Amino acid sequence: MTIADIVVWIHVSAGIAWIGAALAFVLAAIAMERGSAERREFFVRAAKPIGMIGLAGAITIVITGISNLWFAGRARNFNFGSQFVAVLSVKIVLYLAMCLALIGIIRARIRMNAALRIDDTAAFDHESARISSLWAATAIMGAVALGAGLWLAGS
């Protein structure tokens, strides 16, 4: 196994961790009754750790992604075909959108915690719904990005 292979596996693992955490969060939130104490406790306890998994994944993906591009470029004398560039462009746009969603999640979590401190149930529910929606969008975009990554790996 070469260093390039190791970097690819780290890249894929970071993506799977980020997407898996997003999906697990959404599925758990869906399973709980909206407005219940159980759901509120879940959001209070799980939102920050899941966000940290997303942040770690985002940082790892950008570092390993640049490394993977460099390894792929060396193997091809930096002569990338138009399909490769197009698929890579889609992956980059998806990554940026996922990072924007992650920023939105972090900001919504801050507002959610502020609503909790002042006992504003409506604001808490609004921000928790926003968090769930952004994690769902992240999971979908991440799944598409993983599919595009499989195509790149095969080209």
- Cβ neighbourhood burial of 124 (10 Å; 0-12, 13-18, 19+): buried
Looking at residue 154, what is its pLDDT? 74
pLDDT at 155 over 80: no
Distance CA 139, CA 4 (A): 26
Write down the pLDDT at residue 104: 97
Tokens of 28: 């758990």
Is the Cβ–Cβ distance between 134 and 105 less than 8 Å?
yes
pLDDT band at 151 (very low <50, low <70, confident <90, very high): confident
Mean pLDDT value across the chain: 94
Residues 6+ apart with CB under 8 A from 6: none
33: DSSP letter: P
12 and 30 in contact (C-beta within 8 Å)? Answer: no
**Residue at token pair 């698929």:** 87
For 33-86, what is each residue's pLDDT tens digit? 888 899 999 999 999 999 999 999 999 999 999 999 999 999 889 999 899 999
Residue 34 has a pLDDT of: 85
Contact 151, 136 (CB under 8 A): no
